[in-house]
A and B are shown apart, each in its own frame.
Chain A
């Protein structure tokens, strides 16, 4: 989890505003990372991130702490927005391939990036990183989402379970299965 410096906020009008300010500062980059991993589209990820926070601000009074932590609540909103985006895409057409992301130096859909340009001695970490990225992109969306929630968004297992609507042990099992798959794919590549 990375603290994000933000511009000074106006004085909070109530407790809900204050909580949202803190939540925004601590979760902005995490939400974006999760959504980007899920959508494979930087522009769409930015839109969905903005939309998720917008919805969170609009529904700030509906948050019920008894139903989970605020981060789980926020990622639930972000997940719904991201899945709506996926649905929208499917309605329009089936994309032949994920568009290349000019902002991603390694690319998303392949290992063909600067990291993979030089495969000489001492480049094994770079190769491994590229292999992990490729294997992650090749995972089914449901498992990719688990990885994103755990390693990109930094959710605890309980929060992860809350976002997905499953039990904590079930979430742990699913996460372990996804990691095993990822390890196998990485080993095969390297």
Chain B
């Protein structure tokens, strides 16, 4: 590569060179340049000639294209002819030649190993991202801990605990009495849907204790299916002898459509109700929250308090029967009135608690959202759409791997090129130095 401007040749030098060229070509030259021409001829005549024996050997090797014998093994003649006893000692140790192909192969293998470590190790080194449909389910399953026998109540939250605040009854449950175990919020609500739906429905132990149960279910459905899903909620509640305490359905056909339900179902039917609501057609479970609160002691206390109030009223009635003075009669009547008021209040409290125990509250929300395609399970779900999706995913992964490999190979290649360039420059410099020192 000629990257500099070529200087013009001095006319005198150019003329001399022309004389030389003419002489070598056998042309006549100006008599004034006879000296230069003679010198050129003398130099040409003094050209060293090759030994005929060596020439014959070289021709033989050329005929075989210098393929055999090996490159540096040919010593056509002993060299150099050192005076006897003056031959210098050869340096100890053989000078190793650089085997570039082997070196290149080794470099490529090291690069491939490095890329493999980066690619494979990268996925293992980072915290695992939840994979759609399964990772969250596994995580929630593993992190879910059953309520300890000593605890009065237990709460299992399958998704964000913030979801429980939507439900008034759930918000009223004292959290101190109900230690909760929360899974970190799902990466995507829709991503968790299939796994949440597939979880086993919670059933409190049937040991006769008084328990208040509540649940919250968040569903997503295509905007055009809000009405269908809402109707299915009514159907499920009716089938389980439940009550729709309140409902609000807003169907716009757009993603802003939604529906809210406040349900009350017999507690013994709660698992089946939740199972039914989790399997609604066109709906996907985004999150589900189950809450239980053990109120056995409170129920027993209320019962005892009612019994005590009744016993007091009976006693007061007996005393009233035996009262003789008007003052005693008035006092006992007042106490009996208070006792009856207390009985009435206790009955109301007990009845309310019994209703909470007998009927579980369920809050259902339905949000319109773009449906996430369900993961393909088995070959039966294979179609062009899933194939295209898989192909796109494979191409994405391949492009990512190629990008990572490129990120490694480009610096390595640049470094190798730099090293090669420096090595070549050094070799050239050493050769020129050898020429200067000759």
Residues of A within 8 A of B (CB): 4, 6-10, 17, 20-21, 24, 28-29, 32-33, 36-38, 41-47, 49-51, 53-54, 57-58, 80, 83-84, 86-87, 90-93, 95-96, 99, 103-104, 128-129, 132-133, 136, 140-142, 145, 147, 150-152, 154, 157, 167-170, 172-173, 175-176, 179, 182-183, 186
| Best-surrounded residue of A33, A54, A90, A140 (most CB of chain B within 10 A) | A54
Q: Quick check: B77 and A83 within 8 Å, CB to CB?
A: no
Q: Quick check: A169 and B80 within 8 Å, CB to CB?
A: no
B24 an interface residue at 8 Å Cβ cutoff?
Answer: yes
A-B contact count (CB 8 A): 174
Q: Quick check: A24 and B62 within 8 Å, CB to CB?
A: yes
B265 an interface residue at 8 Å Cβ cutoff?
Answer: no
Closest to A152 in B: B47
Q: Would you give 13 A-B contacts (Cβ < 8 Å), ordered by A?
A: A6-B59, A20-B65, A29-B50, A43-B78, A44-B80, A54-B74, A141-B436, A147-B43, A150-B43, A167-B2, A173-B10, A179-B36, A183-B35
Closest to A187 in B: B35
Q: Quick check: B2 and A9 within 8 Å, CB to CB?
A: no
Task: Please give, as numbers and ranges, the residues of chain A lying within 8 Å of B6 by CB-CB distance.
Answer: 167-170
Task: Please give, as numbers and ranges, the residues of chain B lying within 8 Å of A92 by CB-CB distance.
Answer: 88, 90-91
Give a binary string over B88-110; 1 marks a CB under 8 Å from any A CB, 0 the rest. Answer: 10110000000000000000000
Q: Quick check: B39 and A86 within 8 Å, CB to CB?
A: no
Query: How far does the alpha carbon of A90 sit from the alpha carbon of B76 in the complex, in Å?
Result: 22
* Minimal beta-carbon separation of B71 from chain A (angstroms): 6
Q: Quick check: A29 and B7 within 8 Å, CB to CB?
A: no
* Minimal beta-carbon separation of A12 from chain B (angstroms): 10
Query: How far does the alpha carbon of A29 sit from the alpha carbon of B86 in the complex, in Å?
Result: 32
Q: Quick check: B435 and A132 within 8 Å, CB to CB?
A: no
* Minimal beta-carbon separation of B124 from chain A (angstroms): 44
Q: Quick check: B17 and A183 within 8 Å, CB to CB?
A: no
* Minimal beta-carbon separation of A124 from chain B (angstroms): 11
Q: Quick check: B58 and A49 within 8 Å, CB to CB?
A: yes
Number of interface residues of B (CB under 8 A): 62
Task: Please give, as numbers and ranges, the residues of chain A lying within 8 Å of B78 by CB-CB distance.
Answer: 43
Q: Quick check: A145 and B14 within 8 Å, CB to CB?
A: no
Contact partner of A154 (CB less than 8 A), chosen from B24, B35, B432, B438, is: B24
Task: Please give, as numbers and ranges, the residues of chain B lying within 8 Å of A87 by CB-CB distance.
Answer: 430-431, 434
Q: Quick check: B55 and A4 within 8 Å, CB to CB?
A: yes
Task: Please give, as numbers and ranges, the residues of chain A lying within 8 Å of B142 by CB-CB distance.
Answer: none
Q: Quick check: B438 and A91 within 8 Å, CB to CB?
A: no
Interface residues of B in 34-83 (CB under 8 A from A): 35-36, 38-40, 42-51, 54-55, 58-63, 65-67, 71-72, 74-82
Closest to A170 in B: B7
Query: How far does the alpha carbon of A126 sit from the alpha carbon of B212 in the complex, in Å?
Result: 129
Query: How far does the alpha carbon of A154 sit from the alpha carbon of B23 in the complex, in Å?
Result: 12
Q: Quick check: A99 and B81 within 8 Å, CB to CB?
A: yes
Closest to B48 in A: A36
B13 an interface residue at 8 Å Cβ cutoff?
Answer: yes
Task: Please give, as numbers and ranges, the residues of chain B lying within 8 Å of A86 by CB-CB distance.
Answer: 431, 434-435, 437-438
Task: Please give, as numbers and ranges, the residues of chain B lying within 8 Å of A20 by CB-CB distance.
Answer: 65
Residues of B within 8 A of A (CB): 2, 4, 6-10, 13-14, 16-17, 20, 24, 35-36, 38-40, 42-51, 54-55, 58-63, 65-67, 71-72, 74-82, 86, 88, 90-91, 430-432, 434-438
Q: Known contacts A9-B62, A90-B437, A154-B24; decide if A43 and B46 are in contact (CB<8 Å).
A: no
Q: Quick check: A179 and B90 within 8 Å, CB to CB?
A: no
Q: Quick check: B59 and A173 within 8 Å, CB to CB?
A: no
Q: Quick check: B42 and A132 within 8 Å, CB to CB?
A: yes
Q: Quick check: A41 and B80 within 8 Å, CB to CB?
A: yes
Closest to A81 in B: B431
Q: Quick check: A179 and B39 within 8 Å, CB to CB?
A: yes
Task: Please give, as numbers and ranges, the residues of chain B lying within 8 Å of A8 by CB-CB distance.
Answer: 63
Contact partner of B39 (CB less than 8 A), chosen from A17, A44, A54, A182, is: A182
Closest to A25 in B: B62
Q: Quick check: B42 and A103 within 8 Å, CB to CB?
A: no
Q: Known contacts A9-B63, A83-B431, A142-B436; decide if A33 and B20 are in contact (CB<8 Å).
A: no
Q: Known contacts A80-B431, A172-B9, A176-B16; decide if A151 and B43 are in contact (CB<8 Å).
A: yes
Contact partner of B434 (CB less than 8 A), chosen from A83, A95, A128, is: A83
Contact partner of A44 (CB less than 8 A), chosen from B51, B74, B79, is: B79
| Best-surrounded residue of B6, B24, B81, B435 (most CB of chain A within 10 A) | B435
Query: How far does the alpha carbon of A17 sit from the alpha carbon of B381 in the complex, in Å?
Result: 61
Query: How far does the alpha carbon of A45 sit from the alpha carbon of B48 in the complex, in Å?
Result: 10
Q: Quick check: A173 and B13 within 8 Å, CB to CB?
A: yes
Query: How far does the alpha carbon of A29 sit from the alpha carbon of B62 in the complex, in Å?
Result: 13
Q: Quick check: B49 and A46 within 8 Å, CB to CB?
A: no
Task: Please give, as numbers and ranges, the residues of chain A lying within 8 Å of B7 by CB-CB distance.
Answer: 167, 169-170
Among all A-B residue pairs, the 5 with the closest Cβ atoms: A43-B79, A83-B431, A141-B438, A93-B88, A151-B43
* Minimal beta-carbon separation of B227 from chain A (angstroms): 76
Q: Known contacts A44-B80, A182-B39; decide if A53 and B66 are in contact (CB<8 Å).
A: yes
- With A87-B434, A90-B434 already in contact, 9 other A-B pairs whose C-beta atoms are closer than 8 Å: A10-B63, A17-B65, A24-B62, A42-B51, A47-B76, A51-B71, A132-B39, A151-B40, A157-B17
Q: Quick check: B91 and A7 within 8 Å, CB to CB?
A: no
Query: How far does the alpha carbon of A47 sit from the alpha carbon of B73 in the complex, in Å?
Result: 10
Q: Quick check: A46 and B77 within 8 Å, CB to CB?
A: yes
